[in-house]
Amino acid sequence: MIIVIDGPAGSGKSSTAKTIANRLGIQFLDSGALYRAITYLWLKGGKPDKAEFFENLPKVQLQTEYRDQTFFVQADGEDLTDQIRTQHVADHVSEIASYKEARSFVNRYMRNLVTEGAYIADGRDLGTAVFPDADLKFYMDASLEERANRRFLEMRETDQSVSLEDVMKNLRSRDQKDQSRENDPLKKANDAVVIDTTGKSFDEQVSEMIQVIKGKTTLN
């Protein structure tokens, strides 16, 4: 079983998906972390020629695990969990994620991962491109100001140099790139349940979504 949550950056998808996973006893899959990992590897390599980088990308051994309410990511044995959450990576992730080679790599990994068990995943195009036959689809959104403040508080935990102004500028740019990219742009699936979290408490949005899940799936 796969439940997907799509929506723009900072709409609360990851934190909500993790909490739902914990409460329902299912696995959490963070697609954004996978794109951040690829972006980190590209930056770490000194921003090499993208054609060459993507040609070698399938050789990367990616490993993920969700435990202790954290989505851990490793690439070729290196733990990238903290490194991928910096502003430097965030500034480039939409650029890398726009390439079909990056999307093919991540999509293949996710589809192979969810062949057994029950998962909830968050991303940009899960309900439209990756899992069009998902058991349940959500689309989360919130105002730019609220999304920026949420992301700022999250990023301050690992990057003290980040500012709210920088985060808002980054989100505005990512929204434009994500919605206009040629390969699998951000958009709401026709059969997605829309959850606008502007002005809602975290518990309110989680409770609302769990109620929908229990009403539309076999999870209890």
Closest to 107 (Cα-Cα) out of 20, 10, 184 = 184
pLDDT of residue 71: 92
Asked if residue 213 is part of any domain, the answer here is no
What backbone phi and psi angles, to 5 degrees, belong to 7? Answer: 155, 170
Asked if residue 211 is part of any domain, the answer here is no
Asked if residue 220 is part of any domain, the answer here is no
Contact criterion met (CB below 8 Å) for 162 and 152:
yes
Domain count, the chain: 1
* 69-93 as b/e: b if 16+ CB within 10 A: eebbbebeeeebbebbbbbebbbeb
pLDDT of residue 11: 86
Ranges of residues in the chain whose predicted pLDDT is under 50: none
pLDDT of residue 179: 85
Token pair listed for 152: 């700022």
- Classify 55 in phi/psi space as left (phi over 0), alpha (psi -120 to 50) or beta: alpha
Domain span at residue 190? 2-205
Cα–Cα–Cα angle for 161, 72, 208, rounded to 5 degrees: 90
Token pair listed for 179: 């919605």
The Cα 43–Cα 63 span in angstroms is 19
pLDDT of residue 98: 87
Asked if residue 106 is part of any domain, the answer here is yes
Contact criterion met (CB below 8 Å) for 122 and 13:
yes
Asked if residue 56 is part of any domain, the answer here is yes
Asked if residue 189 is part of any domain, the answer here is yes
The residues near 112 (Cβ < 8 Å, ≥ 6 apart) are none
pLDDT of residue 140: 94
Asked if residue 217 is part of any domain, the answer here is no
CATH code for position 15: 3.40.50.300
pLDDT of residue 9: 82
Q: pLDDT digits over 60-93, tens only?
A: 999 999 988 889 999 999 999 999 998 899 889 9
pLDDT of residue 194: 94
Give the count of beta carbons closer than 10 Å to the beta carbon of residue 101. Answer: 17
